[in-house]
Structure 1
Amino acid sequence: MSDVSPLRNAVRNGSGLKRYGGTWGELLAEFLGTFVLISFGDGVVAMAVAALPGSGRAATPTTIFMAAGDWLLITWGWALAVTLAVYVAGGVSGAHINPAVTVAFALRRKFPWRKVGPYIGAQVLGAFAGAAMVSAVLQRH
């Protein structure tokens, strides 16, 4: 049992983003959750578009993912993006990862209005950072 005690202390004291606690930890979780959402979501769309024959990036003018497969790739990619974003932010901030969700919670009186502005700011910054990363990756190739 003695080798399990460090694990109990980590759970009791919080691990990962929960260690930061308070509003700053929640804002960091929203930033990272939105960053993950946009990085994976926009990344999968960019990958599918880059494979289109007109993009100049395909091996031949007739190379394309099977046309019916493009929407499957994008759909599953966005599903994975949302899932990962919720895993990143859910335990700390509730994983709003969208300003509309934050405002809706505040309107329903399930979220304090004093946190709406900071949450939206963190979400917008996370979205811009995720989009910038996707853009940087696309420009390198």
Structure 2
Amino acid sequence: MSEHERSRTMPAPPEVVFDQARDLDRLDHWLPQDLHVRPEVLPAVTVHEDSTGQDAHALMRADPDQLRIEWGTRDDDRYAGWLQVADSGSGASEVTIHLSFFDDAHAPGGDDIDTTLEDSLQRLAEEVRLRTDSAAG
């Protein structure tokens, strides 16, 4: 089993960040670029991975009261993850993404995962910035 976690501060209220992160129509804007989520009957989703050309049946749940999104494969126990948004004061938020791979044979290399998590948080921060800029202007 391997676990990976990255955090980033974003200059927006936690509710704004959470709403951006859970928007199913905008997930492709911040998730790893080769992953695409297609909603089914929620919480069921299908995740397509461009690099393998395969689809994975997954579950994705968003809890607005806890500002938390959780996901994982539903046909097997390959991976699970969560995103948590917390208020860090002064109108800013701390966003943490955590991934757990239960079978190391299916886990990407540790450096690859860490880089991908950092890139995803950067893209989410940019999406949040665009949203807050357009709301202010």
> Is the structural similarity TM-score above 0.5?
no
Question: Shorter chain as normaliser: what TM range?
Answer: 0.3 to 0.5
Larger-Rg structure: 1
Larger relative strand fraction: 2
Larger relative helix fraction: 1
**TM-score, length-scaled by structure 1:** 0.33
**TM-score, length-scaled by structure 2:** 0.34
